[in-house]
Amino acid sequence: MNHIKIYQQSSVPYQNTELVLEGPVPPEQLRKYTMHPDLDAFRRPKEQFEALVEIAGLPEGRIILARHEEVIVGYVTFHYADELERWSEGGMLDLIELGAIEVANAYRGLGLGKKLIRLAFEDGQLENVITFTTEYYWHWDLESSGLTVWQYRDMMEKLMKSVDMVWFATDDPEICSHPANCLMVRIGKNVPLSSVEQFDRVRFRQRFMY
């Protein structure tokens, strides 16, 4: 499987300076940066930073980040699904998960999430894979955002639609456990039909449902 990684960079004005958006960032470059202390949605910032470095070093892994000088203020991760999750069961080399997306509180409202995700798809880098993301309401920062579950779901759905990801049905128990949870998918234009059919078998264990 050829995992295409073409470095991209752009900038966003911020106060009297600018933020740099870049990626995929290799681990040796990532090591030069530090993590903003507010990036703690998944782990403590130091531990999450080490996780980002590890992902960046994977053949399929990619880290797209926003930084203020040398401080990471937002990021998006792409990697294979965890081996304990259903999405790894098909052994698909061309099925990539858009995993974590996080932006530090002080840098929200700049559209960084959308810009980071779009950067990841520049130059057709992900046209040979199926990209998916699982949205679970218990991961959402409802407290800081002040949004309801349904408002946050709508925000996340619009974010994913900005790179042509669409809602896909599944019988996965975790996604089905709450109506706000969802599976969003983008099938690259160079993905073979055999992979699409295999993904259908992964999405549904009860085959009569599709």
Residue 206 has pLDDT above 80, yes or no: no
How many whole angstroms separate alpha carbon 73 and alpha carbon 34? Answer: 9
Of all residues in the chain, the percent with pLDDT exceeding 90 is 90
- Contacts of residue 108, defined as CB under 8 A and 6 or more positions apart, other chains included, come to none
Q: Which residue has the higher pLDDT, 183 or 208?
A: 183
Section 122-130 average pLDDT: 97
Report CA dihedral (98, 99, 103, 109) to the nearest 10 degrees: 40
Residues 67-82 have pLDDT tens digits of 999 999 999 999 999 9
Q: Where are the alpha helices (DSSP H) in the chain?
A: 27-30, 45-56, 112-120, 142-145, 149-161, 173-176, 193-203
How many whole angstroms separate alpha carbon 94 and alpha carbon 92? Answer: 5
State the pLDDT confidence band at 144, using cuts at 50, 70 and 90: confident
How many whole angstroms separate alpha carbon 200 and alpha carbon 181? Answer: 19
State the pLDDT confidence band at 124, using cuts at 50, 70 and 90: very high
Q: Which residue has the higher pLDDT, 134 or 143?
A: 134
Q: Give pLDDT, residue 207.
A: 61
Q: Give pLDDT, residue 156.
A: 92
Residues 62-119 have pLDDT tens digits of 999 999 999 999 999 999 999 989 999 989 999 999 999 999 999 999 999 999 999 9
Section 131-143 average pLDDT: 91
Q: Give pLDDT, residue 139.
A: 86
DSSP 8-state secondary structure symbol assigned to residue 62: E
Residues 15-59 have pLDDT tens digits of 999 999 999 999 999 999 999 999 998 889 999 999 999 999 999
Q: Give pLDDT, residue 184.
A: 97
Q: Give pLDDT, residue 143.
A: 84
